[in-house]
Amino acid sequence: RAMIRICKEENFHKKQGYEIVTTMANGTPEQRKMVQDAVNRWWWPTLMMFGPADK
């Protein structure tokens, strides 16, 4: 039962983030730069959540 509530809340956060990024990506050049800067800053740490590549 708890997982149903947790999943609903997490889905809300996912949708909220998507809408914010979409709005800013379609906004002014300054807003697009803010989105790109955030992606550049968080891209590698986000990938590392899944662990390093196997070699």
Q: What is the pLDDT of residues 7-35, one digit of tens each?
A: 999 999 999 999 999 999 999 999 999 99
Give the pLDDT score at 54.
80
Domain regions of the chain by residue span: 2-48
Q: What is the pLDDT of residues 31-55, one digit of tens each?
A: 999 999 999 999 999 999 988 888 6
Distance separating alpha carbons of residues 12 and 47, to the nearest angstrom = 22
In the three-class reduction of DSSP (H, G, I as helix; E, B as strand; rest coil), residue 44 is classed as helix
